[in-house]
């Protein structure tokens, strides 16, 4: 790529947004931290907290790893309340994505977030690809059981750190536990529809990504360390002449951006909206 990255150049970023018609926004946990939801890999993130709790040598991503859940679902239930979707609230940056949609510029928001804050901001469902699933549904983990229910029905268990069980399989549990079948620990345990390491991404991702990569005329990456494939690879599949803007607290070194807006995503949202002459819903919001 010929262009050198530019640090903190919001006016050029606003010009690119003004011209663009098919923007892909790849978002991550950093756009929700101002709501008090931790990100994963920062010093104050979920994985640092887990590492100090589980001790040295522990792998904090185990909490979202399918094999581990099947052996020990309690680990996930012990921490999942920290990433439960909040009611109603959303950030200025979520408002900014909604505004891109209202202005007819948002091709898609590929979110890695499982907090569903996009819904609170009113971003249209067809504009969102939830790359790592969501808490919208909860499903029985037993391989031959198809029981599925509203995700919110297991929120009380998650808040109390108590396993939620499937009404069909739970009565069989004592027998199963005695027989020590494979995955017996998670037999009949409900698991939210979030994508764990070791699973494929939701079908909606596969259905839209190729076409979207072709049609994208501006890429905005926000609030993500861009470390988890395949989302981290989207950037490599988009034509190199499509401009790329990073909005993030920390720089990303493993790929190039044309513009790096380093700082709080909410500040970037207000700043860009101001330059574009747009009003966001959050005039009085203060980023933490
Ligand atoms: P990470 O925790 O890896 O990265 C969050 C990024 O957001 C970091 O680079 C921070 O610097 C930045 N950040 C934090 N607060 C910010 C703020 N207020 N404004 C701007 N930037 C801020 O989170 P993700 O990249 O989203 O998987 O993680 C990707 C996936 O890894 C997650 O979806 C999760 C995890 O394992 C699942 O949940 C299955």
Q: What is the pLDDT of residue 6?
A: 58
Specify the pLDDT at position 144: 87
How far does the chain reach from its first CA to its final CA, in angstroms? 35
264 within ligand 1 shell (Cβ under 6 A): yes
**Taking 70 as the threshold, does the pLDDT of residue 236 lie above it?**
yes
Any residues with CB less than 8 A from the CB of 206 and at least 6 apart, and which? none
Q: Which atom of ligand 1 is nearest to the CA of 267?
A: 19
Atom of ligand 1 nearest to the CA of 252: 9
- Looking at residue 180, what is its pLDDT? 72
Q: Express each pLDDT in 35-45 by its tens digit.
A: 999 999 999 89
137 within ligand 1 shell (Cβ under 6 A): no
The answer to whether 282 is a known catalytic residue is no
CA of 12 to the centre of ligand 1 (A): 25
Angle at 83 between CA 228 and CA 110, to 5 degrees: 40
Ligand 1 near 41 CB (within 6 A):
yes
How far apart are the CA of 32 and the centre of ligand 1, in A? 9
Global ipTM: 0.98
Query: Separation of 227 CA from ligand 1 center, angstroms?
Result: 9
Quote the ligand 1 centre to 262 CA distance (angstroms).
14
pLDDT digits (tens, 9 = 90+) for 173-199: 888 877 777 778 899 999 999 999 989
CA–CA separation, 123 and 117 (whole Å): 9
Look at residue 2 in the predicted model and tell me its pLDDT.
Answer: 38
pLDDT digits (tens, 9 = 90+) for 17-31: 999 999 999 999 999
Q: pLDDT at residue 277 above 90?
A: yes
- Residue 196: the pLDDT is 96
Considering only CA atoms, which residue is closest to atom 6 of ligand 1? 224
Tell me, using a 6 A CB cutoff, whether residue 141 lines ligand 1: no
Q: How far apart are CA 98 and CA 123, in angstroms?
A: 5
50 vs 235, which has greater pLDDT?
235
Q: What is the mean pLDDT of the chain?
A: 91
Report the alpha-carbon distance of residue 56 to residue 34 in Å, rounded.
Answer: 29
């Amino acid at each position: 790529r010929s262009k050198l990255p530019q640090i903190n150049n919001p006016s050029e970023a606003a010009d690119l947004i003004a011209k663009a018609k098919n923007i892909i926004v790849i978002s991550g946990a950093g756009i929700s931290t101002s709501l008090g939801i931790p990100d994963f890999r920062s010093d104050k993130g979920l994985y640092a907290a887990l590492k100090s709790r589980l001790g040295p040598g522990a792998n904090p991503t185990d909490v979202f790893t399918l094999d581990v859940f099947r052996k020990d679902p309690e680990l996930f239930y012990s921490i999942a309340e920290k990433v439960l979707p909040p009611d109603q609230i959303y950030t200025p940056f979520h408002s900014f994505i909604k505004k891109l949609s209202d202005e007819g510029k948002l091709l898609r928001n590929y979110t890695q977030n499982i907090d569903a804050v996009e819904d609170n901001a009113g971003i249209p469902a067809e504009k969102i690809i939830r790359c790592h699933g969501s808490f919208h549904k909860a499903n029985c983990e037993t391989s031959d059981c198809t029981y599925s229910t509203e995700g919110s029905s297991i929120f009380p268990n998650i808040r109390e750190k108590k396993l939620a069980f499937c009404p069909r399989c739970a009565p069989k549990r004592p027998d199963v536990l005695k027989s020590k079948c494979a995955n017996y620990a998670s037999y009949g345990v409900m698991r939210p529809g979030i994508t764990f390491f070791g699973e494929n991404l939701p079908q909606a991702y596969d259905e839209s990504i190729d076409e979207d990569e072709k049609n994208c005329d501006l890429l905005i990456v926000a609030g993500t360390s861009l470390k988890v494939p395949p989302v981290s690879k989207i950037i490599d599949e988009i034509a190199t002449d499509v401009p790329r803007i990073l909005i993030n607290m920390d720089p990303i070194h493993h790929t190039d951006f044309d513009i790096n807006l380093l700082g709080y995503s909410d500040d970037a949202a207000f700043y860009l909206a101001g330059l574009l002459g747009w009003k966001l819903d959050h005039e009085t919001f203060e980023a933490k």
